[in-house]
Chains A and B, each alone.
Chain A
């Protein structure tokens, strides 16, 4: 060993092997130095002060922000450090909601764990915690500022990895808080519900929203038939909640547990993933042949879809129109299962078991509801399922594995590897290469698309076609590609986007990782599951083929399109707060919005607005018309833009606006 690269930690010689900071060297030496604000994926913050160590000749330094140097002599636990750490933890406890037993994070909470490790039996400081309102505004996440220790991991994840920045630090000193803009709730800002804030939160300040109670209720209702679909990533992580190693495949135990809790049927989302592969690959090949709407982006990640709708509405045409496997499963199940299971559609309850918090939001999207009924009724995260298993008293690791139900429980390996970054691309390649060449292939492993990097590229020749792929996880990387497209510098044909690190296996609904290697191991678990399966290509799934024959008809055909594809819409204007200028009182009113954004303003929207207000007044239409000043219809080059009801008029003139206004009012009159 090269002694130039050695340092001494608590009397032991430890080599320095390219670690970025002292903390990593210390942890390598199997000393679990506590931290709140250090996260290896994020920038160094240095705020929690728990990783203070004594460096000979330098005194106390935070190990997270200190570069390791050969010959350093470090002590990690001295009386001085112990006292500072204790005081830091006590100070946090004194300003913390201490309802620990009723906290969803209990037993996984770092603060609780540290207090226990340090043997803190009394907080010497006065409780200074003041109760703050809890944000339950959205279907995916619950933000409880009373439990926030202000480590900023969530803020940095949202900003640095996802490039969203929906939450940030606000105020100063003792009033500092992590807040969405203007202290609004998450539903009113640009949160994409990826939930990574919750997964890096050391306490229970941001948690996935639980639907456990609703699912128990459905299970207890004798008139309902409750069926489940299990996402691929769930099976390689759930055992961690019961002390297992990451990557252990426990599909059979999940089925057994669900059946034992009263689920009628347990299916596999991977079946729908096989369907997705076929639909999406065909869509892609069609686009590639025509050379249009490229690159094609994948659309299975709901956080990415919302991200694209918010920031890149002009690129929505590039997204595959395929629903995600969860939603394909939902619509197919609601379409075919009632007959098969002999139950009325209204009594069929579909529960997804997902690694993801954004799936909860996705299931509630209006596109995926029919007459107020969701295709997927409830979405449970892996964490929630493990909690139900615990509540039911099941000893998970000792459950006798059971089989998934057919036909929707049958899948190929292609549908399984959907759960990790690169999996969708590989599955599509396994399909596309056969489709392009017309020759059966045996070598199905595309190592070129696998890996851990946040942005990977692959160029693959299939027959005489060259495909350029990009695989990204972390939306900052997706943003970079979107910017390339906007700049006309993008050469990719196909881009796989997953929001979470490592893909769905790193989803925010997964068990809180105890190990730093968990992503690698979970991914490995999925590739191994692929290996052990008989089939590896979606096109070989005979149940899928049967499904096309009996239900869907042609690939990409009308019925398939109806059930398996969807539409997206621009969300650039995240908050819909217009300024009411004229407010009608009648029950049904015609809303007229005039854009007063910069370019419309320059093109004279002000005069238009004034004209319309006067017009409405002269015609005595105040009761039936609402006039609003608003911002941006995303058609800045064609301003001034005016929306009258559902019609957006570009390059609008006063006369044209009055004309359409008249027409619309006539239509309204006729209707009533």
Chain B
């Protein structure tokens, strides 16, 4: 059965023609963050408001040529904290925290009178200066949005707009003009390294799969982004699903696969929905399916929803999961390139990697290498979160320093009241539960695969959690250990039992039961788990412990030997005390104490019985005189 070959040019032309009629465009960020803050209602309000104002409105640009204002939704624009975000083009006015009640004013002022609504513009925290467009905002100014670029612009549910923006042209080129080897060579030449964590050269991975004997092969997109604190893959899948598809098509061409799976984390229902639609639309238009671009090659893609297991981010576990089994990793070798899904050669790439592929083919390997460093070319997205003024999704070239990211893009570190102060930076946790900590001494470290590895951290999936001085690093290590302990598949002894015992040792430290044997044992165990575990999850699980032990050993020692948590975060180590000179004997604390640990005569200084105290802190809250400390 022959299928008419998709003609990208005519689709783009038709869309362009329709687009010409659009006088204005209002782009609403419809990423998860903005939706949670009410972006969809704002969208409705715009459509209704424009109609009410008697202006023509275009809600969907489906090849229809209609004059008017196009109200469209985009993927995540990254600045989640300031959402819902609204951009009005052609001026490019960038409004933040837009509510339904603001819509009328925007229509009135900007759409009708072509003026910005100043109060909705982003203002710089220090100077209060208004920023008209994203180009004026430090958060965006210092970034280099490359893979994420289209995310904030195109309508993720409109394949025609994607094609209009040059989409599927790289796939066409790969299928029509290039041999599989040429595709592999081009990606190899670009130096692209896997964005999912390990940083293995993508071209090499493909070539290893390509050289396997011909026959059934698979391509898998790993969208099981499980690192707590990372959400770039979500943004890409939700914001620009077609580029992920296109990346998979190119990978399939490179290795000779005719079937593929997009394995998406179940926590991302919107991504699943958009990818399913993208696959259906691409099939309908003939970009996917049989005889792609007349090349005689086929590709079928399936979207599969994960079921909630972090370990499925590991290649072999993911394959087991696609096969309908428990997501337990298997020993490597054999590598998926040799024997993957159903025992067939399989390439597994992460979302961000795949989304970068079409751009590389478009611009050429040489051009791509102009970004980033020699050994880590290109850009990397990071999820910037924690105690930082601007949280959100960012993209910078590899080699950008940590200082640039935290201080400039992130706008500095916040203290416990949420205020930016110059002195409260403590550490950055990078790479999630597999990663490590970076401290003040690393602020000028270039962020790239090799530099990070040299200091015991890793890019991982790109979670960057900034922590201020009030953060207890032992608790941070414990948090990650709790996570890996829960998420360990339970197969291999070292990971299953080792994470449990590391957690128990960290609990001993935090709860004041540790002695001089604890830290050496923790270290030995961590090394054994790192060296001996079956899969990547186990091998990297000790990283947060080893890295905090390396950079914050004094903090650990304080917990162990002085039974004191320097940040006061560890509840069991608190030693609440009533300062006699400040205590007025009002008895408020004694009345609040749930266990009757506070005693004293009225109008006389009170005392806390340390043996009874459960360190709940109720007394300190009740005290009006600041007499209770150490809670």
Do A and B form a real pair? yes
User: Could you tell me which A residues sit within 8 Å of B by CB distance?
Assistant: 44-49, 52, 60, 62, 64-67, 80, 83-84, 87-88, 91-92, 94-95, 124-126, 128, 149-150, 152, 169, 171-176
How many angstroms between the C-alpha atoms of A286 and B231 in the bound complex? 73
- Inside 8 A of B532's CB, which chain A residues have their CB? 49, 52, 60, 84, 87-88
Residue of A nearest to B326 (CB): A169
- Inside 8 A of B330's CB, which chain A residues have their CB? 46
- Inside 8 A of B493's CB, which chain A residues have their CB? 47-49, 88, 91-92, 149-150
The 9 closest A-B pairs by CB, nearest first: A176-B490, A91-B497, A65-B331, A46-B331, A87-B528, A84-B532, A173-B488, A47-B492, A125-B501
What count of chain B residues pass the 8 Å CB interface test?
Answer: 32
- Decide: A172 and B489 in contact? CB cutoff 8 A: yes
Residue of A nearest to B504 (CB): A126
Residue of A nearest to B489 (CB): A172
Give 30 CB contacts A-B under 8 Å.
A45-B491, A46-B534, A47-B491, A47-B534, A48-B493, A49-B492, A49-B534, A52-B532, A62-B534, A67-B333, A80-B531, A84-B494, A88-B532, A91-B493, A91-B497, A91-B498, A94-B497, A94-B501, A124-B521, A125-B504, A125-B521, A125-B525, A126-B504, A128-B504, A150-B490, A169-B490, A171-B490, A174-B485, A176-B489, A176-B490
- Decide: B500 and A128 in contact? CB cutoff 8 A: yes
Least distance between B312 CB and chain A CB atoms (Å):
11
- Decide: B494 and A49 in contact? CB cutoff 8 A: yes
How many angstroms between the C-alpha atoms of A125 and B328 in the bound complex? 26
- Inside 8 A of A91's CB, which chain B residues have their CB? 493-494, 497-498, 501
- Decide: A126 and B490 in contact? CB cutoff 8 A: no
- Decide: B497 and A95 in contact? CB cutoff 8 A: yes
| Chain A CB within 8 A of B309 CB | yes
Partner of A173, one of B489, B525, B533: B489
- Inside 8 A of B281's CB, which chain A residues have their CB? none
- Inside 8 A of B499's CB, which chain A residues have their CB? 173-174
| Chain A CB within 8 A of B487 CB | yes
How many angstroms between the C-alpha atoms of A62 and B330 in the bound complex? 12
Least distance between A33 CB and chain B CB atoms (Å):
14
Given A67-B333, A88-B494, A174-B490, 9 additional A-B pairs, CB 8 A = A49-B534, A65-B331, A80-B531, A84-B528, A91-B493, A124-B521, A126-B504, A150-B491, A173-B486
How many angstroms between the C-alpha atoms of A88 and B326 in the bound complex? 23
| Chain A CB within 8 A of B387 CB | no
- Inside 8 A of B366's CB, which chain A residues have their CB? none
How many angstroms between the C-alpha atoms of A65 and B531 in the bound complex? 16
- Decide: A172 and B528 in contact? CB cutoff 8 A: no
- Decide: B497 and A83 in contact? CB cutoff 8 A: no
Partner of B500, one of A44, A48, A52, A174: A174
How many angstroms between the C-alpha atoms of A219 and B405 in the bound complex? 83
| Chain A CB within 8 A of B496 CB | yes
How many angstroms between the C-alpha atoms of A559 and B534 in the bound complex? 62
- Inside 8 A of A94's CB, which chain B residues have their CB? 497, 501
Query: Majority SS of interface residues in chain B?
Result: helix
Least distance between A126 CB and chain B CB atoms (Å):
5
- Decide: B331 and A173 in contact? CB cutoff 8 A: no
Partner of B501, one of A49, A60, A65, A128: A128
Q: Enumerate B422-470 residues with CB–CB distance to A below 8 Å.
A: none
- Inside 8 A of A174's CB, which chain B residues have their CB? 485-486, 488, 490, 496-497, 499-500
How many angstroms between the C-alpha atoms of A124 and B533 in the bound complex? 19
How many angstroms between the C-alpha atoms of A80 and B498 in the bound complex? 16
How many angstroms between the C-alpha atoms of A283 and B534 in the bound complex? 55
How many angstroms between the C-alpha atoms of A149 and B497 in the bound complex? 10
| Chain A CB within 8 A of B524 CB | yes
Q: Would A173 and B496 be within 8 Å (CB), given that A66-B333, A150-B490 are in contact?
A: yes
Least distance between B483 CB and chain A CB atoms (Å):
10
- Decide: B528 and A83 in contact? CB cutoff 8 A: yes
- Inside 8 A of A67's CB, which chain B residues have their CB? 333
Residue of B nearest to A86 (CB): B528
Least distance between B448 CB and chain A CB atoms (Å):
24
How many angstroms between the C-alpha atoms of A45 and B490 in the bound complex? 13
Q: Would A46 and B492 be within 8 Å (CB), given that A52-B532, A84-B532, A125-B504 are in contact?
A: yes
- Decide: A83 and B524 in contact? CB cutoff 8 A: yes
Least distance between A47 CB and chain B CB atoms (Å):
5
Least distance between A151 CB and chain B CB atoms (Å):
9
Residue of A nearest to B490 (CB): A176
How many angstroms between the C-alpha atoms of A508 and B67 in the bound complex? 82
Partner of A60, one of B309, B333, B531: B531
- Inside 8 A of B500's CB, which chain A residues have their CB? 95, 128, 174
Most buried by B among A47, A80, A84: A47
Q: Would A87 and B492 be within 8 Å (CB), given that A44-B331, A95-B497, A128-B501 are in contact?
A: no
Q: Enumerate B472-525 residues with CB–CB distance to A below 8 Å.
A: 485-494, 496-501, 504, 517, 521, 524-525
How many angstroms between the C-alpha atoms of A171 and B496 in the bound complex? 12
How many angstroms between the C-alpha atoms of A166 and B500 in the bound complex? 28
Q: Enumerate B215-244 residues with CB–CB distance to A below 8 Å.
A: none
How many angstroms between the C-alpha atoms of A242 and B517 in the bound complex? 44
Least distance between B181 CB and chain A CB atoms (Å):
27
Least distance between A485 CB and chain B CB atoms (Å):
28
How many angstroms between the C-alpha atoms of A46 and B531 in the bound complex? 14
Least distance between B281 CB and chain A CB atoms (Å):
36
